[in-house]
Amino acid sequence: MSSKKKTATSGSKKRTAGKEKTPDVVIVSSEAWPWVKTGGLADVAGALPRAMAQAGARVRLFVPLYKSIDRKKFKIPSRGGVKFRVPVSARIMEGTAHMISPSDNLEVWFIEQEQYFGREGVYLDPTGHDYPDNLERFAFFSRAVLETLIASGQPPDIIHCNDWQTGMIPAYLKTIYAGVPFFKNTGSLITIHNMGYQGRFHPSQWHLLGISWDHFHPGGLECYGHINLLKGGLIHADIITTVSPTYSQEILTPDGGFGLDGLLLHRVDRLHGVLNGIDTQEWNPATDQLIPHNFNRSDMAGKALCKTELLRNMRLDRGEGPLMAVVSRLADGKGMELLADCLDPMLAKGAQFLLLGSGDKALEQRFKQLAVSWPGQVSVTIGYDEALSHSIQAGSDMLLVPSRYEPCGLTQMYALAYGTAPLVRATGGLNDTVRQYDRATGEGNGFKFDEYSKEALLAKALEGIEFYLTDRRNWNKMVKMGMGEDNSWGRSARKYFSLYRLASSSGGK
């Protein structure tokens, strides 16, 4: 994007916080809570726009209108809307963008296109495989956002993209839309939520992207012979962010970069780590409607009642040891194999274990087997259950997140807010949000181990179990300290505002 000057757009008077003008922001995500969620990206894309709108920015969030989205419940219009057309290879695909406005300054735009999004899954078919036309679906979505913006007539200051599904937006802005006057003052930022998912596709699908073959080379969108949509975003975005400061360093290494570390090192002056926050409206034990009893730092009685109810519902006995929980996708990187290897000695020390998760079939099977071997002490629920995830955070004593890598991680922050001590590996955002408790000084909010090994995880788990069993007074102090920490979005939303200014003024090279 060459020499850009900022121009004020609609509502700019209202959108001034302090001295700086708050930006006109478009956020694009393939999922957003409460409309559609498969993981933490949805939590972020649901909460961040709201936090920014509350801070005075004008925010438009774009998501695909999947079949699973309850149109009636969310009052998404079924008529009208903004019609647009997107060329896909030799075809012209039509679609409609429908808007709702859940709060002041915030609009949510749903991209409707029956052929691409009118199906059961978000990314996967019912057998758990990626849809073969995911490149086409999300390239269409990316371009549909740009076309809807043009049709609606209001250019944003910034388009904030998330993950590979939206990686084509920065690429389009620098290629086929480069000369479009509408976007001449619009910068782009892409947030990496997980380098493990890059949107890699066979080159035979290139024609669906609508950009010239000139861009299919190692300095462009090609990566080891494949099309790589995340790479498209990383090369062309004005600013790149990761969801925690530690992760912004880890992705510069061969281990963390998943093949893109070289490119990221090349663009390191554009790379920033901005820690995710949590949505304190959705995740607040004092007001949460999804848990059986509310509680807060000065009145913890409700937490004990939540535990009693959770034990009963999960058919667990009341034990002396801590109730240790997992709420996670059972996917590569989450450290679940390591945990399964350590459970027997932890249970032998009196801990109880509760898991809610789904994903890898072999892991699902392994945990189910552990539940059979330890009746009354282990409970395993395979599936996805938002309400149960809240009850688990409220009723457990410890939350285990032993990830091999974790760009940010949200569950450990939910645990902190709910008086549940996190036990994490020192990686990514886990490292940035959890501090090892020091019994000598009373400082720290949980348990943290470094080496990715069964021994290191087990030693830390046994330390936690022993602490819980022998020193409940200080345990309670520790968890109350965690509950008092501010992990809300305010600070990070402001950090993004300053990066948006940088993106818009940086000239894009």
Judged by the rule CB under 6 A, the positions of this chain that interact with ligand GLC are 39-41, 44, 193-194, 243, 276, 406-410
Q: Residue 105 binds what, of ligand ADP, ligand GLC, none (CB under 5 to 8 Å, by partner type)?
A: none
Cβ-based nearer residue to ligand GLC, 228 or 246: 246
CA distances from 81 to 14, 95, 148 (A): 26, 10, 10
Q: Which stretch binds ligand ADP (CB under 6 A): 101-109, 251-259, 322-330, 472-480?
A: 322-330
99 contacts 152 by C-beta, under 8 angstroms: no
DSSP per-residue codes, 255-308: HHHTT-HHHHHHTGGGEEE----B-TTTS-TTT-TTSSS--BTTB-HHHHHHHH
Q: Residue 243 binds what, of ligand ADP, ligand GLC, none (CB under 5 to 8 Å, by partner type)?
A: ligand GLC
Site string for ligand ADP, 332-371 (x = CB under 6 A): ------------------------xxx-------------
Distance of CA 8 to the CA centre of its chain: 31
Q: Calculate Rg over the CA atoms of the chain.
A: 23
Cβ-based nearer residue to ligand GLC, 306 or 408: 408
Min dist CB 193 to ligand ADP, Å, is 7
Please tell me whether residue 23 binds ligand ADP under the rule CB under 6 A: no
Distance of CA 349 to the CA centre of its chain: 34
Q: Residue 327 binds what, of ligand GLC, ligand ADP, none (CB under 5 to 8 Å, by partner type)?
A: ligand ADP
Q: Which residues contact 283 (CB under 8 A, 6 or more apart)?
A: 390, 393, 414, 417, 418
First to last CA, the chain: 7
Kindly state the greatest CA–CA separation across the chain.
Answer: 70
Min dist CB 409 to ligand GLC, Å, is 5
Tokens representing 292 are 């059986």
Closest CB to ligand ADP belongs to which residue?
A: 40
Residue 448, helix vs strand vs coil: strand
296 contacts 417 by C-beta, under 8 angstroms: no
Cβ-based nearer residue to ligand ADP, 347 or 410: 410
Q: Residue 24 binds what, of ligand ADP, ligand GLC, none (CB under 5 to 8 Å, by partner type)?
A: none
The site for ligand ADP, by CB under 6 A, has a size of 17
Cβ-based nearer residue to ligand ADP, 159 or 327: 327
Q: What residues between 391 and 430 interact with ligand ADP by CB under 6 A? A: 408-411
Cβ-based nearer residue to ligand ADP, 188 or 411: 411
Min dist CB 276 to ligand ADP, Å, is 7
Q: Residue 384 binds what, of ligand GLC, ligand ADP, none (CB under 5 to 8 Å, by partner type)?
A: ligand ADP
Cβ-based nearer residue to ligand ADP, 40 or 167: 40
CA distances from 119 to 91, 267, 324 (A): 21, 38, 37
Best CA proximity match to 84, nearest among 142, 169, 134: 142
Min dist CB 248 to ligand ADP, Å, is 16
Kindly give the pairing relationship between strand 239-242 and strand 352-359. unpaired
Q: Which stretch binds ligand ADP (CB under 6 A): 22-30, 198-206, 341-349, 381-389?
A: 381-389
Min dist CB 163 to ligand GLC, Å, is 8
Min dist CB 366 to ligand ADP, Å, is 16
- 36: DSSP letter: B
Q: Which stretch binds ligand ADP (CB under 6 A): 35-43, 130-138, 231-239, 345-353?
A: 35-43
Cβ-based nearer residue to ligand ADP, 267 or 368: 368
Best CA proximity match to 68, nearest among 37, 94, 95, 46: 37
Cα–Cα distance measured from residue 416 to residue 327, given in angstroms and rounded to the nearest whole number? 14
Please tell me whether residue 389 binds ligand ADP under the rule CB under 6 A: yes
Cα–Cα distance measured from residue 425 to residue 343, given in angstroms and rounded to the nearest whole number? 16
Cα–Cα distance measured from residue 275 to residue 294, given in angstroms and rounded to the nearest whole number? 28
Residue from 105, 162, 241, 328 binding ligand ADP (CB under 6 A):
328
Please tell me whether residue 327 binds ligand ADP under the rule CB under 6 A: yes
Which letter, b or e, does each residue of 133-148 get, where b requires 16 or more Cβ atoms within 10 Å of its Cβ? ebbbbbbbbbbbbbbb
Closest CB to ligand GLC belongs to which residue?
A: 40
Residues of this chain that interact with ligand ADP (CB under 6 A) are: 39-40, 43, 327-329, 356-358, 384-386, 389, 408-411
